[in-house]
Amino acid sequence: MRSTSKSRLKKELSLLGVVTIAAGTTLSAGFFLLPGIAAAEAGPAMVLAYVLAAVPLVPATFSVIELATAMPRAGGVYFFLDRALGPYFGTIGGIGTWLALVLKVAFALVGIGVYLTYYLPGLPMTTIAVALAMVLGIVNYFGARKTGRLQILLVAGLLLILAVFMGAGLPQVRPEHFDHFFDAGTSALLSTTGLVYISYVGMTNVASLSEEVKDPERNLPLGVIFALGTAVLIYALGTVVMVGVVPMDKLAGNLTPVLAAATATMGSTGGLLVTVAALFAFVSVANAGTLSASRYPLAMSRDHILPSPFRRMSRGGTPYISLLATVGTIVAIVLVLDPTRIAKLASAFQLLMFALVCAAVIVMRESRIPSYDPGYRSPGYPWMQIAGIAIPVLLIYEMGVLPSLFSLGMVLVATVWYFAYARHRVTREGAIYHVFERLGQRRHEGLDSELRGIMKEKGLRRGDPFDEIVARALVIDREEETTFDEVVAIAAEHFASVAPHSAEEFFKRFQEGSRIGATPVSRGIALPHLHVDGLDAPEMVLVRARRGIEVRVAEPLSGKEHAETVTAVFFLVSPEGDPARHLRVLARIAGRVEEGSFAADWRHAQDCQQLKEALLHDERFVSITVAGGTPAEPLAGKRIRDIELPDGCLVAIIRRDGVSIVPRGKTVLALGDRLTVIGDPKDLSSVRARFSAHERS
């Protein structure tokens, strides 16, 4: 079920990349083609329809962000539905969303012709669309970084031209054009809202790239929410300009409404300018859509829902078979079908997917899986998600029979594929079986394990006090032979001094965890851990046993015991109220243990201070020796409180004359002291530069 680290996609997308991909997939046909069609149905009220169309997207956006920060994996909607509702729903979401994205890309490529032929009639637009699809495929082959850079350029140019368009148009808006605003009626308004909803559906497709986003817990929420706000503002102001400067009889049914409005306000120069903007918009949609769509076959192949070739990676880390299949399908649709008709029908399916995504958040939260640990939690739970389920259902109904039948057809195609190919190749179930524990035989324990693996990859969250926990930990360093019971007894005595529980209770609970298989043992490391009430902050005890300790470990499923020899034991106890932080700390320890440098650092550590430093990542601490002839020499004789360090750094440990002492603000440093400074990696870089170990010139 889990792919190896070698098959992971590179984290190359910055916050700006997230914003431009999310916004770029939104500002295309919805802005440059659909307003004329919407005006024919709803009249001036189409301005309100565009604003209302963003409402059902809000619950889906919040839900997608929550799921993406908990499970930053390629495949977006597919991965979320698979892990929450099971592989059947994942197959429907994966195949259907991939096809909807491919149709949207084909629609964008063909849509270019609508504006180009205004100035250059007779161009072979099908040939141009196919050639552009191939060029974008080549750009995508070189990875998300190159694709993201192209996207930034396209969206920056688009937003600049749209700012000029709205700046010139808003002062010329005629209020009388908004007379008889609601004459078309409520039903027409809702139907138009469903029609233009497709304008926003690309907003959350960036979630399929969450595996490639740097710091997804920060950049995904900020990027998507900012992009959504930008898109709504542009649609609202842009449609006001179109309605306000173009008479309704000329706007209704017009396939180049922005061109008409720009020509009315800025003449032929304005028309040419927005044509360039339209090209930027359609190419940006095709570029971002190709990138997002190509990650769906990759994700489904990882889970054996699609054949294994789709997860093959190029040397540069691109899923090239998945990309080739995506681009090939886009080209086939452009050549054989009419994407302008089919893409509109796919809007209903996207609505269905958004409803299921909201349901997935409810399932994941109610599953109470401790390792479900999103960096962003949707506000208004569960009412936000309930609204996110109900509103799309209403809009699908208002859209009529044909879009609903198209969505049903896509569901049937995915269903046939699941039962014919995938069903017998997958062994997992979704988190929904964690909700209904009475169906215990269907509960899939591997999901919690997979989410723990994801937590390990995401790392610590800003504010997690891992460095401080390690800095104040008790260290037991045994040269002689020792037993597990002996080190458990010492750890229990220490924890009893900081928590309102007896040493006997700690000893019993640690031993019980080993007997029932709750103590992870791997790579010569044991991780006994507990949640206890009455504790203010997590506490640790580090044990090094040079001659090894034999630990009796029970298999969780069979209950059979076997002996494991470990050279390190890390005891961790955490307060009851924050199980997710407890798991993140455990995941950080496990991640550090798996790093190639750990074993040697741990084995060769000369003292307690170096043992603690072995557990810290190199980027998260700086070791400074106060010695003559070094930049740190002036620290001798200074109190710690008088040392100028960045706000995010602190002196955690002092080693003096072979003894570790706890630093206080009034502690005076002396020559020969060895300091361990912990803090944020960015702040520590300046400390390294200032107190470099090289001697002064």
pLDDT at 430: 61
Look at residue 442 and tell me if it is in a domain. no
SS3 content of the chain, % helix, strand, coil (to 5): 65, 10, 25
Question: Quick one: 259 and 275 in the same domain?
Answer: yes
Sign of the Cα pseudo-torsion (626, 630, 635, 640, in order): negative
Q: Is 616 in a helix, a strand, or coil?
A: coil
Quote the percentage of the chain above a pLDDT of 70: 89
**d(Cα 690, Cα 5) in Å, to the nearest integer?**
36
Are the C-beta atoms of residues 430 and 444 closer than 8 Å to each other? yes
Asked if 296 and 101 count as a contact pair (C-beta separation under 8 A), the reply is yes
> CB-hemisphere CA count at 13 Å for 242?
35
- Run of H or E including 407: helix 401-417
Residues 152-182: b if buried by 16+ CB within 10 A, e if exposed: bebbebbbebbebbbebbeeebeeebbeeee
Residues 278, 398: one domain?
yes
Specify whether the backbone of 508 is left (phi greater than 0), alpha (psi in -120 to 50) or beta: alpha
Looking at residue 384, what is its pLDDT? 93
With contact defined as beta carbons under 8 Å apart, do 573 and 529 qualify?
yes
Considering the domain architecture, whether residues 83 and 112 belong to the same structural domain is answered as yes
Cis peptide before 382 (omega within 30 of 0): yes
The confidence score (pLDDT) of residue 341 equals 65
Q: What is the pLDDT of residue 47?
A: 92
Q: What is the pLDDT of residues 380-395, one digit of tens each?
A: 999 999 999 988 888 7
109-118, 247-256, 476-485: segment of lowest average pLDDT: 109-118
* Residue 416: Cβ-neighbour burial (10 angstroms; 0-12, 13-18, 19+): exposed
Coil, strand or helix at 634: helix
Per the domain annotation, does 336 fall within a domain?
yes
280 dihedral zone (left: phi>0; alpha: psi -120 to 50; beta)? alpha
Cα dihedral sign, 287-289-292-293: negative
pLDDT score recorded for residue 443: 53
d(CA 189, CA 32): 20
pLDDT of residue 233: 93
Q: By residue range, what is the domain housing residue 692?
A: 617-697
DSSP string, 370-398: TT---SS--TTTTHHHHHHHHHHHHHHHH
pLDDT on residue 560: 67
DSSP string, 94-126: HHHHHHHHHHHHHHHHHHHHHHHHHHSTT--HH
pLDDT number for residue 4? 44
Of all residues in the chain, what percent carry a pLDDT higher than 90?
A: 18
Number of domain units in the chain:
3
Q: Compute the average pLDDT of residues 436-458.
A: 59
Contact 595, 616 (CB under 8 A): no
- Residue 446 counted as domain residue: no
In the predicted structure, residue 48 carries a pLDDT above the cut 90: yes
Last residue of a domain, one of 594, 616, 638: 616
Residue 375 has phi, psi (to 5 degrees) of: -75, -15
pLDDT bucket at 172, cuts 50 / 70 / 90: very high
Per-residue pLDDT band at 437 (split at 50, 70, 90): very low
118 lies in the same domain as 200: yes
Tokens 């769509």 locate to: 293
Shared domain for 155 and 222, answered yes or no, is yes
CA atoms within 13 A on the CB side of 74: 30
Q: Same structural domain for residues 167 and 65?
A: yes
Q: Are residues 416 and 341 in the same domain?
A: yes
The answer to whether position 443 is within a domain reads no
Same domain, residue pair 610 and 625? no
Torsion over CA: 79, 80, 82, 84 (sign): positive
Distances (CA, A) of 63 to 120, 370, 567, 579: 44, 18, 44, 22
pLDDT at 364 over 60: yes
Half-sphere exposure of 589 (CA within 13 A, CB side): 27
What's residue 440's pLDDT?
A: 42
Length of the chain as a residue count: 697
Mean pLDDT of the chain: 83
Lowest mean pLDDT among 57-61, 118-122, 558-562, 662-666: 558-562
Q: Is residue 151 part of a domain?
A: yes
Residue 644 belongs to domain with CATH number: 3.30.70.1450
Instruction: For residue range 65-108, list pLDDT tens digits in order.
Output: 999 888 888 888 888 888 888 889 989 988 988 888 888 888 88
Q: Is residue 451 part of a domain?
A: no
What is d(CA 31, CA 46) in angstroms, rounded to the nearest whole number? 12
Domain membership flag for residue 542: yes
Regarding whether 184 and 305 lie in a shared domain, the answer is yes
CATH of the domain at 579: 3.40.930.10
Is the pLDDT reported for residue 556 higher than 60?
A: no
Rounded CA gap, 537 and 465, in Å? 9
Query: How many angstroms separate the Cα of 629 from the Cα of each of 372, 405, 676?
Result: 51, 80, 19
Residue-wise pLDDT for 155-169, tens only, equals 888 899 999 999 999
State which of 574, 592, 616 marks the end of a domain.
616
**Residue 554, H or E segment:** strand 539-554
Query: What confidence score (pLDDT) does residue 444 get?
Result: 55
Q: Are 452 and 371 in contact (CB under 8 A)?
A: yes
Look at residue 237 and tell me if it is in a domain: yes
- Cα(159)–Cα(153) distance, rounded to whole angstroms? 10
Same domain, 77 and 209: yes
Collect all residues with Cβ–Cβ distance below 8 Å to 680 and sequence separation of at least 6: 646, 648, 649
Among 559, 562, 554, 537, CA closest to 466: 537
DSSP lists the bridge partners of residue 532 as: 575
Same-domain pairing of 478 and 576? yes
Same domain, 39 and 57: yes
Q: Does residue 437 or residue 169 have the better pLDDT?
A: 169
The residues, any chain, with a CB within 8 Å of residue 543's CB and separated by 6 or more, are: 475, 476, 477, 478, 487, 491, 549, 568, 569, 570, 571
Count helices and strands in the chain by DSSP H and E runs: 27, 10
Domain finish residue from 616, 642, 659: 616
Whether the predicted pLDDT of 448 surpasses 70: no
Q: Give the contacts of 218 (CB within 8 A, at least 6 positions apart).
A: 15, 375
pLDDT band, residue 434 (cuts 50/70/90) = low
Query: Residue 435 contacts by C-beta under 8 Å, 6 or more apart in sequence?
Result: 363, 366, 367
Q: Distance (Å, rounded) from C-alpha 548 to C-alpha 558?
A: 26
